Amino acid sequence: MRNMIKTSVLGVAFLVACVPLFAHHGNAVYTNKPITMKGTVTQWIWTNPHTFLKFDSKDDKGNVQHWIGEWNAPSTLVNFGFTPKTFKPGDEVTVTLGGMAKDGTLVGRVRSVELADGTVMTEDEKFGKAPDSH
């Protein structure tokens, strides 16, 4: 009986400890409408818990917009061929975001980035070819 109580207490403690893992933010702050745009890399931030691709893109009126694309942690991206040197300032890219911030901020979750040579950098096989522009 004593072992059963210990096991139950440990099980509950384990579940309580796991709750913060599931509470990590999701994509709720982003729209669910993919957007693709051409731009120029200004910075590639290789840091935990997320990497960030900063790039400039022009809107329909030709005004330069400064975007930030949020991506996964370096420990995840290395499995898909990414390195701290994957993107350099001045690189011409086509970025596909899964959506942008609902508040209109020029921030979004990156799905894929097509390099000037046609290479598509992604961690999602279903986006492993150059996406159509929207």
Please give the pLDDT value at position 134. Answer: 33
Is 3 within the bounds of a domain?
A: no
Is 16 within the bounds of a domain?
A: no
Please give the pLDDT value at position 17. Answer: 46
Is 9 within the bounds of a domain?
A: no
Which domain covers residue 122, as residue numbers?
A: 35-127
Please give the pLDDT value at position 129. Answer: 43
Is 10 within the bounds of a domain?
A: no
Q: Give the chain's residues under pLDDT 70.
A: 1-2, 4-27, 125-134
Give the burial class of 31: count Cβ atoms within 10 A of its Cβ; 0-12 exposed, 13-18 middle, 19 or more buried: middle
Q: Cβ distance 30 to 100 under 8 Å? A: yes
CA–CA dist 76, 48 (Å, integer): 10
Please give the pLDDT value at position 124. Answer: 74
Q: Cβ distance 54 to 45 under 8 Å? A: yes
Which tokens sit at 104? 């209109």
Please give the pLDDT value at position 108. Answer: 95
CA–CA dist 89, 78 (Å, integer): 20
Q: What CATH number is given to the structural domain containing 118?
A: 2.40.50.1010
Please give the pLDDT value at position 32. Answer: 87
Is 121 within the bounds of a domain?
A: yes
Is 25 within the bounds of a domain?
A: no
Q: Cβ distance 52 to 72 under 8 Å? A: no
Is 96 within the bounds of a domain?
A: yes
Is 95 within the bounds of a domain?
A: yes
What's the total number of domains in the chain?
1
Q: pTM (2 decimals)?
A: 0.73
